[in-house]
Structure 1
Amino acid sequence: MNRPLLVLRPEPGASATVAAARAIGLAAIAAPLFTIRPLDWVPPTGRPQAILATSANALRHGGIGIAALIDLPLYAVGAATAEVARYAGFGRIIVGDGDADAILALASSHGVASLLHLAGREHRATARPGIAIERRIVYAADPLDALPEAARAALPGAIALLHSPRAAALFARLVDPAGIAIAAISAATLEAAGTGWRAHATAERPTDASLLAVAAKLCDQGL
């Protein structure tokens, strides 16, 4: 059974996920729960050894301040963030396919002692012994007050893709979970969604491809 697949992440990620989902035969609908806007920020006066980017949106919305940093190595969480970093002009990009803690461990193994973290307003403040992390908040993700019409029209019976704990918690507040299945990108995201869903599954890895794979299994099982 090919149930409607709700893609709730912000644009332009939502459209990218929809395209990937449709390429494997899933009936995906873009219904972002957040709008992204840049925030004013000032680069640090000191010079970090490297940049940490845990979200592609930090690089999309970092503005002109990014230009002064592109000669530094950049540690990126995920291939999508790395791709945007290349577009922004960074030449030395180290990509991790885990979470922020994993990329910090990789940076530590490379001898990095200071990082500038370009982050969103609602970021998770990760830390690592031996690494001094300075943060700049460069964008905000503002939540919607109601579910987009495209998503409301597909409920119930849909499968929702949850890309973050924050999205999971917001989605749970906006809907009746009983008729909806969810596919979560991580265990923390599934926990934030709470209980009462028709069915649920968690991606084996925190990647879009893995999330779509578990959503496809839910569809195949008729859940």
Structure 2
Amino acid sequence: MLVTRPEPGLSETMAHLAASGWRGIACPALNVESRPLRLSEARFDGVLVSSGQALAALRGAVAPDLPLFAVGEATAARARAAGFRDVRAAGGDAAALLAALGPAPEGGGHLLLPTGEGVGQALAEGARRLGWRVTRRVAYVARPAAALATDGLAALAAGRVEAVLFFSAATARAFRRALPPLLVRSLSDIHAIVLAPKIAAALDPAEWARISTATRPHQDAMLECLARREDGDAVIRS
């Protein structure tokens, strides 16, 4: 199967696939560049992290003992590995992240929200409705890949791909834009598996054999969407 997510996360998913008995091909559709955080002398009461992509910019920019609310367990694990000591994991999406955050304490509280360029406004507004003051800063920029990985394109051309994994709507759109026109027809035999409904909305169902949405926002649930064929033709099996 093709894995379209960029680092950080790509290597983790590839290792998870291998451990689960599946063969993956790295085919990132986005290039992510970290940006230094431009922070004032303001004091923060916590950090709200909706993507593991933001963690690189946080290193050295905020105190490691500051409470960090991570969108899910994978992001929380990366935050702990980066040295953050007070990490609280939510259930995997923005609604769960706001629920884990909860209302601001009496007298208010100030959150840092490091996000990608052009995203995070809805999450910031949700936290403000809970009484928090929110400072949103760009921590990374995600650009569509100019071209997809050679290995991925070769597998598509040879009809050796059974499934493609999409972890974000931006990745789904970037993959489709970077796909050579001659290979668009190959999608009609391929199962698209997405992490959340909004990602499915970024795909054209007429182009795919099937689009499946994980029942929960976790890569394990994405793998559960796969029909485990036993006839030997599925090249995603190792």
TM band (smaller chain): 0.7 to 0.9
The Cα of 1:37 is off from its aligned counterpart by 1.5
The Cα of 1:63 is off from its aligned counterpart by 4.4
Q: Is the 8 A contact 2:31 2:144 kept in 1?
A: yes
The alignment status of 1:188 with 2:198, answered yes or no, reads yes
- Matched with 1:199 is 210
SS for the counterpart of 2:201 is helix
- Matched with 1:49 is 45
- 1:132-158 Cα shifts (integer Å, max 9, x gaps): 221111111221112211110111443
Per the alignment, do residues 45 and 220 of structure 1 end up closer, same or farther by CA in structure 2, a change over 3 Å counting?
Answer: farther
- Matched with 2:173 is 169
SS for the counterpart of 1:44 is coil
SS for the counterpart of 1:69 is coil
CA distance in structure 1 between the aligned counterparts of 2:40 and 2:218, rounded to whole angstroms: 31
Give TM-score scaled by structure 1 length.
0.87
- Matched with 1:77 is 71
The Cα of 1:109 is off from its aligned counterpart by 4.5
Which is worse superposed, 98-107 or 200-209?
A: 98-107
Residue of structure 1 aligned with 2:224, choices 195, 213, 217 = 213
**One-letter amino acid of the counterpart of residue 73, structure 2:** A
CA distance in structure 1 between the aligned counterparts of 2:104 and 2:37, rounded to whole angstroms: 28
Which is worse superposed, 55-64 or 14-23?
A: 55-64
The Cα of 1:24 is off from its aligned counterpart by 1.6
- Matched with 2:92 is 98
RMSD of aligned residue pairs (Cα, Å): 2.2
The alignment status of 1:35 with 2:31, answered yes or no, reads yes
- Matched with 1:20 is 16
The Cα of 1:42 is off from its aligned counterpart by 1.7
**One-letter amino acid of the counterpart of residue 85, structure 1:** A
Per the alignment, do residues 124 and 72 of structure 1 end up closer, same or farther by CA in structure 2, a change over 3 Å counting?
Answer: same
**One-letter amino acid of the counterpart of residue 145, structure 1:** A
- Matched with 1:133 is 134
The Cα of 1:9 is off from its aligned counterpart by 0.5
CA distance in structure 1 between the aligned counterparts of 2:165 and 2:118, rounded to whole angstroms: 20
Structure with higher strand content: 1
Q: Which has the larger radius of gyration?
A: 2
The Cα of 1:217 is off from its aligned counterpart by 2.6
CA distance in structure 2 between the aligned counterparts of 1:17 and 1:153, rounded to whole angstroms: 21
- Matched with 1:124 is 120
SS for the counterpart of 1:192 is coil
Q: How many residues align?
A: 216
SS for the counterpart of 1:136 is strand
CA distance in structure 2 between the aligned counterparts of 1:178 and 1:99, rounded to whole angstroms: 30
The Cα of 1:122 is off from its aligned counterpart by 4.2
Which is worse superposed, 117-126 or 179-188?
A: 117-126
**One-letter amino acid of the counterpart of residue 105, structure 1:** A
Taking the TM superposition and a 5 Å limit, the aligned residue runs for 1:133-152 are 133-152=134-153
The Cα of 1:69 is off from its aligned counterpart by 2.7
The Cα of 1:218 is off from its aligned counterpart by 6.5
The Cα of 1:159 is off from its aligned counterpart by 0.8
The Cα of 1:35 is off from its aligned counterpart by 1.9
